[in-house]
Each structure stands twice: as C-alpha cells, then as structure tokens.
C-alpha cells in the first residue's frame, strides 16, 4: 500500500522548519529570533509609512531568501520602526528558498513561543472577563 500524504503534512513540515530556524538563529545571537523565543520580549508602539498605528515585537517582511523585521533594536537597545529595513540588516534571517522566507514572514506567529504564550494569556483574560460578567448580571423579573 503506497504512502498517502495527509492534507496538513506540508503545513506541519513548514511549521517544524520555522521552529528549527527560530531556535538556531536565536542560539547564534539573532536579536529578532531571540525576541520570538522570549517569554517577555521587548515591544514598541509605532506608526508605519502608510499611517498604520500598532504595537509589536517584529512586523516581519521578506525579500528574496530573507525574512526580516521592520521593528529592530536601535543602538540604544530599544525597538524602533526602521523604514529602511532590508535583508542586509543584522536581524535578517536567511532561508534556502524565497518561498520559505515569505512563509516565515507571514506565519512565524503560529509557532513563536512568545506569541503562543500571548494567545494563552489573551484567552484566559477573555474567559475571566466572561465569568465576571456572568456572575454580576442583573436578574430580570
């Protein structure tokens, strides 16, 4: 009987590759990868060139075989919006293919421990708020 590929095998393989790349880059000192695996990463508020206002740790982009954050540590060690971010930056991560770099830039939050922890915290806060509202509802007559 031939091996039958499951629909989510490709996605699982890509996630595994992202986890491995994140761990290797963090181990060898890449600041953006270290923020991805940190339990409490640096964050900053920013406004991009198109007027989007947000708060984040990375704001990833990709070009060629590289994924790189637009939010980068400046010389003082603070995160700042870098409108000139490029694959030449110290925080850029090189991939074997352009497809891998693009996939990483779009999907790193799915596997980054800091994002998964934040999802858990957000879910717990919502559940707590729901319980709080449920306990203090006024009873109708």
Q: What angle separates helix 98-107 from helix 9-27, to the nearest 10 degrees?
A: 90
Q: What is the extent of the structural domain holding 45?
A: 12-135
Kindly report the pTM of this predicted structure.
Answer: 0.69
Question: How many domains does the structure of the chain reveal?
Answer: 1
Q: Evaluate whether residue 88 is within a structural domain.
A: yes
Q: Evaluate whether residue 19 is within a structural domain.
A: yes
Q: Evaluate whether residue 50 is within a structural domain.
A: yes
Torsion sign over Cα 116, 75, 71, 55? positive
Q: Evaluate whether residue 5 is within a structural domain.
A: no
Torsion sign over Cα 36, 42, 48, 53? positive
- Range among 6-10, 11-15, 20-24, 134-138 rated most confident: 20-24
Q: Evaluate whether residue 140 is within a structural domain.
A: no
pLDDT in tens, 70-107: 888 888 888 888 889 899 999 999 999 999 999 999 98
Q: Evaluate whether residue 3 is within a structural domain.
A: no
Q: Evaluate whether residue 117 is within a structural domain.
A: yes
């Amino acid at each position: 009987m031939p091996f039958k590929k499951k629909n989510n095998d490709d996605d699982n393989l890509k996630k595994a590759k992202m986890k491995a790349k994140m761990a290797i880059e963090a181990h060898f000192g890449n600041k953006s990868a270290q923020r991805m695996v940190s339990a409490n990463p640096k964050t900053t508020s920013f406004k991009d060139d198109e007027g989007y206002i947000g708060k984040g740790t990375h704001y990833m982009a990709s070009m060629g075989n590289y994924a790189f954050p637009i939010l980068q540590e400046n010389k003082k060690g603070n995160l700042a919006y870098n409108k000139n971010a490029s694959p030449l930056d110290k925080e850029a991560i090189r991939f074997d293919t352009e497809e891998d770099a693009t996939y990483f830039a779009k999907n790193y939050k799915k596997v980054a421990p800091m994002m998964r922890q934040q999802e858990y915290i957000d879910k717990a806060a919502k559940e707590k708020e729901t319980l709080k509202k449920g306990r203090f509802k006024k009873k109708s007559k």
